């Protein structure tokens, strides 16, 4: 004697499709996380450089709200004028982060409309390098532009919760 069970085959096929789609989505999220697209990983860090190599910025593509992060700025000898390097940070990035520290300390720091100006002592070095430590205060994309001696480089970071 067999059991008489009603089956809705079209419902069963739809349910299997949803399960398959969920599994694919879960695998994609795990692969993105391992690659560094959602945090630390091999694809999370990048470097941007001006066309002539005078300005370089190294940063994480993805950061997290209120977590400690840093960015390295490097400037070639062409950026030095009268023993200093004047850096202008513009875009949504300066207003979207809380600067925790700058190393080495700038000799001058001031807010300007739409950004921030930092002046560093060059001390006769061939290459001036500085590290900005910050905490992101906003979610979503933050875009910035660094201008030194008329040369610019743009960057963007994505801030996750």
Is 3.90.650.10 the CATH number for 45-160?
A: no
Distance of alpha carbon 143 from alpha carbon 97, whole angstroms? 11
The pLDDT of residue 39: 64
Predicted local distance difference test score (pLDDT) of residue 93: 95
* pLDDT the model gives residue 85: 92
Structural tokens at position 158: 């994505």
Q: For each successive 10 residues of the chain (161 residues), what is the average pLDDT? A: 77 92 91 74 84 92 92 92 91 94 94 92 82 95 94 93 88
Distance CA 113, CA 118 (A): 14
Residue 115: predicted pLDDT? 92
Which of 156, 127, 135 lies closest to 148 in space, CA to CA?
127
The alpha carbon dihedral of 87, 75, 95, 133 has a sign of negative
pLDDT score, position 1: 60
């Amino acid at each position: 004697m067999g059991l008489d069970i009603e089956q809705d085959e079209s419902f069963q096929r739809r349910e299997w499709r949803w399960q398959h789609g969920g599994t694919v989505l879960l695998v994609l999220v795990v692969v993105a996380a391992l690659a560094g697209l959602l945090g630390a990983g091999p694809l999370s860090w990048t470097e941007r450089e001006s066309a002539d190599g005078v300005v370089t910025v190294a940063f994480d593509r993805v950061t997290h709200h209120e977590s400690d992060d840093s960015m390295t700025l490097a400037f070639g000898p062409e950026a030095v004028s009268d023993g200093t390097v004047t850096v202008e940070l513009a875009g949504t990035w300066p207003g979207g982060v809380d600067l925790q520290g700058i190393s080495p300390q700038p000799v001058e720091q001031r807010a300007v409309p739409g950004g921030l100006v930092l002046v560093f002592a060059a001390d006769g070095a061939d290459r001036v390098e500085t590290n900005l430590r910050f905490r992101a205060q906003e979610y979503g994309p933050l875009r910035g532009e660094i201008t030194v001696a008329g040369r610019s480089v743009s960057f963007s970071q994505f801030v996750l919760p």
